[in-house]
Structure 1
Amino acid sequence: MIKAWFKNIGPGPLVAAAFIGPGTVTVCTLAGVTFGYALLWAMLLSIIATIVLQEMSARLGIISQKGLSEIIRTEIKNPIIKGVAVLLILSAIVIGNAAYEAGNISGGVLGLEAIINNPNFNINGLSINTFSIVIGVIAFVLLYIGNYKVLEKVLVLLVILMSLAFLITAIIVKPNVTDIIKGIFVPKFPKDSILTVIGLIGTTVVPYNLFLHAALVKEKWHDTTDLKFARKDTIIAVVLGGLVSMCIIISAASIQSQDISNASDLAKGLEPLFGSFSKYFLAIGLFSAGITSAITAPLAAAYVASGCLGWSNDLRSNKFRIVWIFILLLGVLCSSLGIKSIDIIKFAQVANGILLPVIAGVLIWIMNKSSVLGVYKNNIKQNILGFIILLISILLSVATLNKVFQLNLF
Structure 2
Amino acid sequence: MKLGKRPLGPGPIIAAAFIGPGTVTICTLAGVEFGYDLLWALGLSIITTSVLQEMASRIGLISQQGLLENLKQHLTLPMAKVFSIGLVILAVVLGNAAYEAGNITGGTLGLSLLLPLPVYTLGKLTLNAAQLLIGVLAFGFLLSGNMSLITKSLTALVVGMSIAFLVAAVMVFPSWTEFGRGFVPTVNGGNILVIVALIGTTVVPYNLFLHASLVAQKWRNSEDLGILRKDTLIAIVIGGTVSMAIVITGASQQGGAVSSAVDMALGLEPLLGKYATYFIAFGLFAAGLTSAMTAPMAAALVVCGSFGWDNSIKSMPMRISMGFIVFLGLLFASLGIKPVQLITLAQVANGILLPLVAAYLIWIVNQSEIMGKFQNTKIQNVIAVTVWIITLLLSAVSVFRVYSSI
Q: Distance in 1 between matches of 2:190 and 2:134?
A: 36
Q: Distance in 1 between matches of 2:345 and 2:248?
A: 31
* 1:60-99 → structure 2 map (5 Å cutoff): 60-99=59-98
CA contact (8 A) 1:162 1:284 kept: yes
Note if contact 2:265-2:281 (Cα within 8 Å) is conserved in structure 1. yes
Aligned to 1:218: 216
1:376 aligned residue: 374
Change (3 A) 1:23 1:351: closer
C-alpha displacement at 1:168, in angstroms? 0.7
Residues 85 and 127 of structure 1: CA distance in aligned 2, closer, same or farther (over 3 Å): closer
For 1:124 and 1:66, locate their aligned partners in 2 and report how far apart those are by CA, in whole Å: 45
Matching residue's letter, 2:236:
V
Structure 2 runs not aligned, ≥5 long: none
Please say if residues 22 and 344 of structure 2, whose CA atoms lie closer than 8 Å, have aligned partners that are also in contact. Answer: no
1:9 counterpart = 2:15 = no
Q: Give the secondary-structure state (helix, strand or coil) at the position aligned to 2:182.
A: helix
From 309, 329, 338, the equivalent of 2:336 is 338
Letter aligned with residue 120 of structure 1: V
Query: Could you say which residue in structure 1 is the equivalent of 2:248?
Result: 250
Q: Percent sequence identity over matched residues?
A: 51
Letter in 2 for 1:142: F
Looking at structure 2, the residues matched to 9 and 194 of structure 1 have their Cα atoms a distance apart, in angstroms, of 37
- Tell whether the 8 Å contact from 1:96 to 1:347 is kept in structure 2 after alignment: no
Which ranges of structure 1 fall in alignment gaps of 5 or more residues? Answer: none
Does the CA contact (< 8 Å) of 1:350 and 1:404 recur in 2? Answer: no
CA deviations over 1:27-76 (Å, ceiling 9, x no partner): 10011001111110110000001000000011110111100111011111
SS in 1 for 2:277: helix
Give the Cα–Cα distance (whole angstroms) in 2 for the partners of residues 321 and 39 of structure 1: 40
2:321 is matched with which residue? 323
- Which of 276, 283, 286 does residue 288 from structure 1 map onto? 286
**Equivalent AA in structure 2 for residue 248 of structure 1:** I
- CA distance in 2 between counterparts of 1:404 and 1:191 reads 11
Within a 5 Å distance, the mapping from 1:11-410 to structure 2 comes to 11-121=10-120, 127-184=126-183, 186-189=184-187, 192-336=190-334, 338=336, 352=350, 355-406=353-404
Counterpart of 1:60, as a letter, is: I
Tell me how far apart the structure 1 counterparts of residues 356 and 123 of structure 2 sit (CA, whole Å).
46
| SS class of match (1:203) | helix
Q: Note the C-alpha offset of 1:321.
A: 1.7
| Deviation per residue, 1:93-151 (Å, 9 max, x gap) | 00111112111001111111223322334567965311101111111111111122111
Q: Deviations over 1:333-373 (max 9, x none)?
A: 33245356999989967874553212211211111111101
SS at match of 2:331: helix
Separation in structure 2 between the aligned mates of residue 60 and residue 90 of structure 1, nearest angstrom: 19
Partner SS state of residue 128, structure 1: strand
The amino acid of 1:221's aligned partner reads W
Is the 8 Å Cα contact of residues 30 and 261 (structure 1) preserved in structure 2? yes
Q: CA, structure 1 residues 3+77, in 2 after alignment: closer, same or farther (shift >3 Å)?
A: closer
Q: Distance in 2 between matches of 1:87 and 1:3?
A: 39
* Distance apart, 1:188 and its partner CA: 2.4
What TM-score do you get using the length of structure 1 for normalisation? 0.93
Q: In structure 1, what residue type is equivalent to 2:92? A: I
Q: Does the Cα contact within 8 Å between 1:166 and 1:282 map onto a contact in 2? A: yes
Paired residues of 1:70 and 1:308 also in contact (CA < 8 A):
yes
Letter in 2 for 1:168: V
Using a 3 Å threshold, how does the CA distance of structure 1 residues 342 and 20 change in structure 2: closer, same or farther? Answer: closer
**1:292 positional shift:** 0.7
Helix, strand or coil for the counterpart of 1:256? coil
| Cα separation, partners in 2 of 1:55 and 1:406, compared to 1, 3 Å | same
For the Cα contact (< 8 Å) 2:196–2:348, is it kept in 1? no
Equivalent residue pairs, number: 406
1:345–1:127 CA distance, 2 compared to 1 (3 A) = closer
Tell me which moved more, 354-363 or 335-344: 335-344
Cα distance between partner residues in 2 of 1:283 and 1:339: 20
Distance 1:176 1:159 in 2: 27
8 A Cα contact 2:111 2:281, kept in partner:
yes
Larger mean CA deviation between 43-52 and 351-360 belongs to: 351-360
Residue 114 of structure 1: SS of its match in structure 2? helix
Classify 1:29/1:388 alpha carbon distance in 2 versus 1 (closer, same or farther; 3 Å): same
For residues 347 and 284 of structure 1, what CA distance do their matches in structure 2 show? Answer: 24
The more displaced of 51-60 and 5-14 is 5-14
What TM-score, normalized to structure 2?
A: 0.93
How far apart, CA to CA, are the structure 1 residues paired with 2:344 and 2:198?
A: 17
